[in-house]
Amino acid sequence: MLDSGVPLVRRLVRGSLKPGLQPDRAFHVSAFRLQDPHDAVLGLAAVVADVTEYEEGRRRAVILSRGREKVGRTLDVDSTCRDLAEVVVPAFADLAVVDVVEAIVWGDEPAQATSAARVPLRRAASAGVQDRDGYLAATAMGQLRTAIHTLAALDLEADDLLARLNDTVLQLAEERHAQPAGDCAHGESLTAAYSYALYDPVSCTCIAGRSGLPGLYLACPDGTVTTVELPNGPLLGSTDIAPFAATTLDISEGTVLALATPALLDAVGTERLRQLLSHRGASMQELCDKIVYASRLGQPTKGDAILVLALANTLPTDRTTVWSIEADQRAPAWARAQARSWLTKHHVPEETVFAAEVIVSELVTNAVRYGAPPLSLRLILDRTLTAEVTDTSATSPHLRHARATDEGGRGLFIIAQLADRWGTRPTPRGKTIWAEMPTAATTQS
């Protein structure tokens, strides 16, 4: 360095602050040649910075990145354990021992002393595959999952939800392109395939669609398995401007709906999957486990192997009721009386009945004042109690906080305080405002 004048910049050196000890610290060492105004060499200037915490953080980040990339590529327990051990040894530890709770292997919930956290598996309502692997793909899928949950809360129609989700993907892709050139996300494309199925237990209908993934399998109670060739729409985030298509199907009670990705079908085989789906009597978890254990998921797969199963149950006819409502000032009181009578007959707790009365009254009042006839009130009594009021006005209400001197404007605020969830759902001829509340101790009449 004295001869060449080339500086030494941020050379990583391991050492200790005390002599005689094992190196336990990390330092960045930089050195520069010193010269006088006449270019005569005077010596060296050295700068030493303790970067132990920085290096430890970087090392942990590298291990986590390798873990996301290597661990969990298959549903095979042995392969996952080996992948985990290879990631942490020797980068993090000299030895790794992975203990697998027997209950996990068979899909059961572990005892409290073994694992305090319950981790539900394979309980999705849709299947999706991002176009790339690695942590960028995992990050994108996490963002899409959050967007789906947010949009689902708006109670949109399936095609409208997909259109808005597509807008979200396009926005995420633009954000990637806007990253600095040195960022790993810069220039990375973002598209995603998907398939979905939305089942209504009241009407016993299912709305389903897909893009780039296989169709929907229906395993009927009599053991027959059919494949529904769903219309294939554009990929999320693509430049294709074709509309997002959907199909409405009539589903019989007890039918199992199955969605699978190409990687899952490659591992199991289409005919083998049909055979396994035709075996009735098992629970959804047992059926899912049989399909997984019959597959070749111990081998690396091209893409994500995803299986989604859902059992179509029908809501008994006596658990829902509908009333037509006259659009006059007497409607709220009449609707309250009808709701109380029907809920009392079904032995709903008084606390829930009272909350339902208030919610029904506010929903009907809002429809009479700001909606358009004809009006209707529907109650659905299942694991939760849902009250719905439908009118033919397309204008959606908005929650606002009324001032102390305001005579009105508190209806939706009251509903929001009493209900667990509430929202507005567009209909072909108007809208439906709904509110959902718990029904603890509800029993059949």
HSE-CB of 315 using CA atoms within 13 angstroms? 19
- The string of pLDDT tens digits covering residues 351-374 is 999 999 999 999 999 999 889 999
Q: What angle do CA 15, 19, 21 make, to 5 degrees?
A: 65
- The string of pLDDT tens digits covering residues 402-440 is 554 444 556 788 888 889 888 888 888 899 999 999 886
Cβ–Cβ < 8 Å for 300, 74: yes
Cβ–Cβ < 8 Å for 385, 348: yes
pLDDT the model gives residue 394: 83
Q: Which of 209-218, 234-243, 373-382 has the lowest mean pLDDT?
A: 234-243
Q: What average pLDDT does the chain have?
A: 80
User: Region 320-333: what's the mean pLDDT?
Assistant: 93
pLDDT: which is higher, 179 or 268: 268
The answer, as to whether pTM is greater than 0.85, is no
- The string of pLDDT tens digits covering residues 20-46 is 777 778 889 999 888 888 888 888 899
Q: Which two tokens stand for residue 403?
A: 């001032």
Percent of the chain with pLDDT over 70: 82
Q: How far is CA 321 from CA 52, 334, 386, 389, in A?
A: 68, 15, 11, 12
Q: Which two tokens stand for residue 376?
A: 């209707």
